[in-house]
Amino acid sequence: MAIRQYGKVYLYDHYAGILAEEPGNRFAFTYDESYLEAKHPPVSITLPLSQYTYYCERGLHPYFDNLVAEGWLRDAQARALGVHQNNRFGLLLAFGRDCIGAVSIVDPEPREIRAFDLDDPEQIAALAGRASLSGVQPKMTAKKTDKGYEASTQDSGSTHIAKLPSRALPDILELELLTLRATATLLPDDHIAEAEIAPVGEQIPKALLIKRFDRDSEGNKRHFEEFNQLLGKFSEDKYEGAYEDMGQFIRKTPRCVPAEADTLFRRILVAILTGNTDAHLKNFAMFHTPEGLRLTPCYDLVAAAIYKEYQTLALRIAGARDLRIGDIKPKHLILLGESYGLPHAAIKLAVDDLGKRLEKTKETIFQTEQVPTSLKDNLIQLMEKRWNGNFSSIGQHLLKRPSGGAKLSDLLSND
């Protein structure tokens, strides 16, 4: 009989319960009785406090499944453990002590990690932190010191996420930095992740260092969930959904602030304007706060449409699946705003505000250092094309629509 694997789940370093593997790839999560008695917050909105066990019949519960590393880091972790890359629970047990957010998964009998390729300093540095990071781009945790950045270890803690260069996507680090700076100019009243390009120790000559917003200035954890988790979706389903789903979640979920639907709508407008076509459900998130769920800062912002293979929006919009960015029309953006419960005046104001900041954003792009001029030119051209193609005429389209929400069939039948 196989030995059942299990892990101890902690939230804010409070022991919350047991996550256990059962026969048939079924998993069970049970809150600890003392955790319930102390009335600590739930681990996830999809796992409310309860004395009953939560079962998932098809692998890890969606919340925990989304904590498992992806892509390059997942493959490196699997080889270091000597397990198959699809052994998601094994990977989470070994590397779940430092997850994004405030939850940790601790293996009571931790497996030894071996450095499998001494000639690859990036992978050795990534494994040293024993962190579980989602996203397919090569990345690792890092810590800022008086001398610069260094790779974090299991015991040192981390202040930043370090994204590494990609062979498949040239200048991806510079493009993300450029997109972050452009977004910060377009949305001056919003919160955007802080980042810079710098080396990490002697092993990594260049990385995009993104300040962890899930850690405060003293290193304390902040709990948040990506929308993929909030909506109860597995990691592999991050592209299975619509941009409307997130706005409706905010509108319908108790203790969410309705005004944040407007903030999220503006973020999606900027994603489309800058060509951030890979903005899926794991790239938007909400903090758990004493006052309720609140949006985290914007993160993972990349003008992916610069690359020919990323011309299609990650999620459905206005009922359209796999919509190419060049085929977006004003009607799609109007319907998106209406689905968020926004009146036409708010939709127009959001677009007008972007228009007022467009020239300043171009200046920001030109002034951003460490970025090739050709990349800056390409992003500006892409934004101008998007603006002239649909954003600039949204006001005229709104004048033709009855206020209070047009029907989908009416909106899609007119340009």
Give residues with Cβ within 8 angstroms of 23, minimum separation 6. 2
**For 9-20, what is each residue's pLDDT tens digit?**
999 989 999 999
Give the count of alpha carbons within 13 A of 308, CB side only: 0
**Residue 412 pLDDT grade (very low, low, confident, very high; cuts 50, 70, 90):** very low
CA distance 230 to 235: 12
pLDDT surpassing 70 at residue 33: yes
pLDDT surpassing 90 at residue 102: yes
Least confident segment among 276-280, 367-371, 400-404: 400-404
**For 329-378, what is each residue's pLDDT tens digit?**
999 999 999 999 999 999 999 999 999 999 999 999 999 999 999 999 99
Q: What class, spelled out in words, does domain 224-412 have in CATH? A: mainly alpha
Contact 401, 344 (CB under 8 A): yes
Q: Where are the domains of the chain?
A: 6-107+119-168, 224-412
Structure tokens at 46: 């999809």
The crossing angle, in degrees rounded to 10, of helices 344-356 and 330-339 is: 120
**Residue 121 pLDDT grade (very low, low, confident, very high; cuts 50, 70, 90):** low
Q: How far is CA 354 from the centre of its chain?
A: 23
- Residues 52-80, mean pLDDT to the nearest whole number: 91
Structure tokens at 134: 């989602």
- Residues 232-255, mean pLDDT to the nearest whole number: 96
**For 124-173, what is each residue's pLDDT tens digit?**
766 777 788 887 788 889 999 999 999 887 777 889 999 999 888 999 99
What's the pLDDT at 408? 37
What's the pLDDT at 119? 60
Q: What is the mean pLDDT of the chain?
A: 91
CA distance 339 to 8: 40
